[in-house]
Amino acid sequence: MELPFLCNFYSMGLPGHRRTSGDKRRRRTHIALAEQSGTTCPKCKKIIRPHRACAFCGTYRGRQVLAAASLK
């Protein structure tokens, strides 16, 4: 109803002070990508993603589940 009157009390939050380039760099030290974790394939001993079939020999838990890249 009395929106123009209420708007006199409304003020938007504003930054307290200017963020320096050092603030920006310090904040961004935490956004680096983490190194990918991996396990070793029991058959071909290559580093693979955990809980996934080996992309090199196509085995998962000792079973052949994919056509191996070397067999193609």
Residue 60 in contact with Zn ion, rule: CB under 5 A = no
- Cβ atoms of 51 and 35 closer than 8 Å: no
Q: Which helix (H) or strand (E) holds 22?
A: helix 21-28
Give least dist CB 34 to Zn ion, A: 24
Stretch that binds Zn ion, among 4-12, 17-25, 37-45, 60-68 (CB under 5 A): 37-45
Residue 44 in contact with Zn ion, rule: CB under 5 A = yes
- How far is it, in rounded angstroms, from Cα 34 to Cα 42? 25
The site for Zn ion (CB under 5 A) is made up of: 41, 43-44, 54, 56-57
